[in-house]
A and B are shown apart, each in its own frame.
Chain A
Amino acid sequence: MNAELGQADAAPEPVLEATGVVKHFPVQRGIVVKRTVGHVQAVDGVDLKLYAGKTLGVVGESGCGKSTLAKLLVGLEPPTSGSIKVLGKEIGNLSSRRIRPVRRDIQLVFQDPYTSLNPRMTVGDIVGEPFEIHTDVIPRDKRAKEVKELLDMVGLSPDHVNRYPHQFSGGQRQRIGIARALALRPQVLVCDEPVSALDVSIQGQVINLLERLQEELGLAYVFIAHDLSVVRHIADEVAVMYLGKVVEHGTSAEIYDHPRHPYTQALLSAVPVPDPDLRGHREEIVLQGDVPSPINPPSGCRFRTRCWKATEKCAEEVPGLDVGDKGTHPTACFYAEERDVTHAVK
């Protein structure tokens, strides 16, 4: 992608690296004297590596910790333990003053295009706000021009700088949010469900925009979503999360065509395929019950309460995220076994 940079020597450095990241939120009771009665184990030991120009998809259901992970990666929440490096710089335990320069390199795109833009600011002020915060990036007199270029880059008319967010549709607002995130020319964008609030016909527009920007700017994405079909289109690598842990990690093809973890298989088989001819012919794994509470996750393997393969061993030991003997990619399951559920026809 960055052919002209041509740094073919040595292995490339990851632009974003998370090692053993843990985030526990204390659950407190009492009004005056607060005592901690437990912890929400939102993220529990996640390792990730992201290289320039690549996209890492993170999928999982609500409560799996993917949104907390997004906040940790951009330094909005400090991790309980573990390390997060952006371009080789540790951000996990920086003070808010020291973290400010790093913010230029990693930015966040939000899910809800209605609450992520201040309704009382014009589009020009919203997209230009990064320059007011980092005053040394662009001299004052050139900012207006830069804002217009950013709007143009995300496919909006530069003439719209004086409009307010409510005058735009959801897809357009999402573009405004992307323009704001790109203003400081970051290397990494963490996208937290960027299209799930949009209509189908608009989702494609925003995904294509993200892909074009990736090519033009050499961006790396962490693409967090619950919609597996969207992730398949944009991700090079995919990490599947369940209750704060990554249960399977591999290339897009490995995860979608050769899933090994029972949860990944169930998740994939539950996604309806828009083809009526496949009705009743697809292999369906319907899981029982709901995701357990992250305050008191099951012992051992956290998926065991809903898993059809679970044995006593699963309740006692925590499976590691290993490739295993016959495996091709890391899977956290004692009984990992490849099973194609997306194309499977009975």
Chain B
Amino acid sequence: MAENVRVVGDTLPGADLNAPLLEVDDLRVEFRVRGKRIPAVRGASFTLERGRTLAVVGESGSGKSVTSQAIMGILDTPPGYVTGGEVRLHGVDLLKQGEETRRTVRGNHIAIVFQDALSALNPLWSVGFQIGELYRVHRGTSRADARKRAIELLDLVGIPDAKNRVGHYPHQFSGGMRQRVMIAMALALDPEVLIADEPTTALDVTVQAQIMRLLKQIQDDRHMGLILITHDLGVVADVADEVAVMYAGEVVERASIHDAFKRPAHPYTKALLRAIPRVDTVGRELEVIPGLPPNPASLPSGCPFHPRCWAADPEKCSTEAPPYEEVAEDHRALCHFAKEVYRDER
């Protein structure tokens, strides 16, 4: 660990190792399209500790992927702009750093694995070269050494016959193997935080199981913090320690994995859990959440979930923005009736 401390200080001046690994505090992101400002993330906050897995759950358009791009500093600007909040790594606000520092942070401290491995890899270079490039650019290692490290990494992520496969091109790998290559690239510089943005959505279930097992195992070995961005609550239940549920650009509930699934305090979380079909239960009619996710350009007044909410008070919820209610230790929900929902009284 001592070795690691030195690295952190080198590449991230002012790092306080007693501070939490990664804190996202009231992060705000908006898109500016044709003169209109469309909020994508409207105050997201969560904390990630070493060796823990935080699942960011939400449907399409909830702002979960934009949040991860803002943390990584890979948001497309324009049209996306970070308009507020802090992203603190070891207590250092990354949003205030210059591009030079941010580039060092990417890969060295925070790395990301995308959903679509095929488009995230350059088809013109061999995978070994693409992994090795990271060493050459960031660490200045020689070509031969870089290749050696690439083989080690491919081996680590469970690619059989890594010595030969290192010279292959992305299209020569199957979907699951490509995702392993992506993970190898993300791990190359030994990051402290790994963001996995829907890492298994494009894969078959049996391959998904392999990849999730691999991610979990690597995280345990390296004591990394893992942010898992997904819409699949089944995967979340399998691997996460904490959950942040996002809806319309806000984190509407933050809880431990057990609380989130067993005693949700936000009506949306509760409805979502009831709406998922399960293999181990039968029931003909599925419970559904009525209506549609809101359009970020014209969000409903008050609580954005109120038009679809089963627990909403027609007056209060449509006019007042809900408070961040703490229903138990480390369990908060953005709802006027969080306490009632938590106690199952509403």
Query: A contacts B directly in the complex (CB < 8 Å)?
Result: yes
CB distance from B338 to the nearest CB of A (A): 20
Contact at A204–B275, with CB atoms within 8 Å?
A: yes
B75 within 8 Å of A (CB atoms): no
Query: A203-B277, A233-B284 known; A226 and B258 CB under 8 Å?
Result: no
What does the 1/0 interface line of A254-291 toward B look like (CB < 8 Å)? 00100000000011101111111111000010110011
Contact at B279–A229, with CB atoms within 8 Å?
A: yes
Q: Collect the chain A residues with CB atoms within 8 Å of residue B275's CB.
A: 200-201, 203-204
A90 within 8 Å of B (CB atoms): no
Q: Which of A80-88, A142-150, A205-213, A314-322 contacts B (4 or more CB under 8 A)?
A: A205-213
Complex CA distance for A172 and B290, rounded to whole angstroms: 12
Complex CA distance for A42 and B280, rounded to whole angstroms: 30
Complex CA distance for A224 and B166, rounded to whole angstroms: 37
Contact at A200–B231, with CB atoms within 8 Å?
A: yes
What does the 1/0 interface line of B273-293 toward A look like (CB < 8 Å)? 101111110111111111011
B271 within 8 Å of A (CB atoms): yes
Q: Collect the chain A residues with CB atoms within 8 Å of residue B210's CB.
A: 286-287
CB distance from A207 to the nearest CB of B (A): 6
CB distance from B124 to the nearest CB of A (A): 24
Residues of chain B from 290 to 318 with CB closer than 8 A to chain A in the complex: 290, 292-293
Contact at A274–B236, with CB atoms within 8 Å?
A: yes
Q: A200, A228, A232: which contacts B233 (Cβ < 8 A)?
A: A200
Contact at A201–B272, with CB atoms within 8 Å?
A: yes
Contact at A233–B286, with CB atoms within 8 Å?
A: yes
Q: B209, B232, B237, B277: which contacts A270 (Cβ < 8 A)?
A: B209
Contact at B176–A290, with CB atoms within 8 Å?
A: yes
Q: B279, B282, B286: which contacts A207 (Cβ < 8 A)?
A: B286
Residues of chain B from 214 to 245 with CB closer than 8 A to chain A in the complex: 231-240
Q: Which of B81-89, B200-208, B321-329 contacts A (4 or more CB under 8 A)?
A: B200-208
Q: Which residue of chain A has the shortest Cβ distance to B210 in the bound complex?
A: A286
CB distance from B257 to the nearest CB of A (A): 5
Q: B205, B234, B236, B261: which contacts A267 (Cβ < 8 A)?
A: B205
A171 within 8 Å of B (CB atoms): yes
CB distance from A331 to the nearest CB of B (A): 18
Contact at A276–B261, with CB atoms within 8 Å?
A: yes
Q: Collect the chain A residues with CB atoms within 8 Å of residue B187's CB.
A: none
A19 within 8 Å of B (CB atoms): no
What does the 1/0 interface line of B165-198 toward A look like (CB < 8 Å)? 0000000001111000000000000000000000
B213 within 8 Å of A (CB atoms): yes
Q: A61, A169, A272, A277: which contacts B232 (Cβ < 8 A)?
A: A272
A62 within 8 Å of B (CB atoms): yes
Contact at B272–A276, with CB atoms within 8 Å?
A: no
Q: B59, B207, B288: which contacts A290 (Cβ < 8 A)?
A: B207
Q: Collect the chain B residues with CB atoms within 8 Å of residue A4's CB.
A: none
A343 within 8 Å of B (CB atoms): yes
Contact at A200–B279, with CB atoms within 8 Å?
A: no
What does the 1/0 interface line of A189-229 toward B look like (CB < 8 Å)? 00000000001111111011001000000000000001111
A252 within 8 Å of B (CB atoms): yes
Contact at A270–B231, with CB atoms within 8 Å?
A: no
Residues of chain A from 17 to 51 with CB closer than 8 A to chain B in the complex: none
Query: A277-B258, A290-B174 known; A271 and B205 CB under 8 Å?
Result: yes
Q: A200, A211, A342: which contacts B276 (Cβ < 8 A)?
A: A200
Q: Which of A171, A200, A227, A268 has the most chain B CB atoms closer than 10 A to its own CB?
A: A200
A184 within 8 Å of B (CB atoms): no
Q: Collect the chain B residues with CB atoms within 8 Å of residue A161's CB.
A: none
Contact at B286–A267, with CB atoms within 8 Å?
A: no
CB distance from B345 to the nearest CB of A (A): 23
Contact at B234–A233, with CB atoms within 8 Å?
A: no
CB distance from A192 to the nearest CB of B (A): 16
Complex CA distance for A273 and B239, rounded to whole angstroms: 11
Contact at B205–A226, with CB atoms within 8 Å?
A: yes
Q: A61, A205, A227, A343: which contacts B280 (Cβ < 8 A)?
A: A343
Complex CA distance for A202 and B174, rounded to whole angstroms: 30
Q: Collect the chain A residues with CB atoms within 8 Å of residue B236's CB.
A: 274
A230 within 8 Å of B (CB atoms): yes
Contact at B279–A232, with CB atoms within 8 Å?
A: yes
Complex CA distance for A200 and B239, rounded to whole angstroms: 19
B60 within 8 Å of A (CB atoms): yes
Q: Collect the chain A residues with CB atoms within 8 Å of residue B273's CB.
A: 274
Contact at B272–A200, with CB atoms within 8 Å?
A: yes
Complex CA distance for A61 and B203, rounded to whole angstroms: 9
Q: Collect the chain B residues with CB atoms within 8 Å of residue A232's CB.
A: 277-279, 282
Q: Collect the chain B residues with CB atoms within 8 Å of residue A286's CB.
A: 206, 209-210, 213
Q: B207, B208, B237, B292: which contacts A273 (Cβ < 8 A)?
A: B237
Q: A62, A169, A279: which contacts B204 (Cβ < 8 A)?
A: A62
Query: A205-B288, A208-B286 known; A228 and B205 CB under 8 Å?
Result: yes
Complex CA distance for A275 and B204, rounded to whole angstroms: 21
Other A-B contacts than A62-B175, A233-B277, A274-B278, 12 sampled, CB-CB below 8 A, are A61-B206, A169-B293, A200-B272, A203-B275, A204-B289, A228-B279, A232-B279, A267-B205, A274-B233, A276-B240, A278-B237, A290-B176
Report which B residues bind A (CB closer than 8 A).
59-60, 174-177, 204-210, 212-213, 231-240, 257-258, 261-262, 271-273, 275-280, 282-290, 292-293
6 A-B pairs with the lowest CB-CB distances in the bound complex, closest first: A272-B234, A61-B204, A204-B288, A201-B289, A199-B59, A204-B286
List 23 A-B residue pairs with CB atoms under 8 Å apart, sorted by A's residue number. A61-B204, A171-B292, A200-B231, A200-B233, A200-B275, A201-B59, A201-B271, A203-B277, A203-B286, A207-B286, A208-B288, A226-B204, A227-B277, A228-B205, A232-B279, A233-B286, A271-B279, A272-B208, A272-B212, A273-B238, A278-B237, A290-B177, A342-B280
Report which A residues bind B (CB closer than 8 A).
61-62, 169-172, 199-205, 207-208, 211, 226-230, 232-233, 252-253, 256, 266-268, 270-279, 284, 286-287, 290-291, 342-343
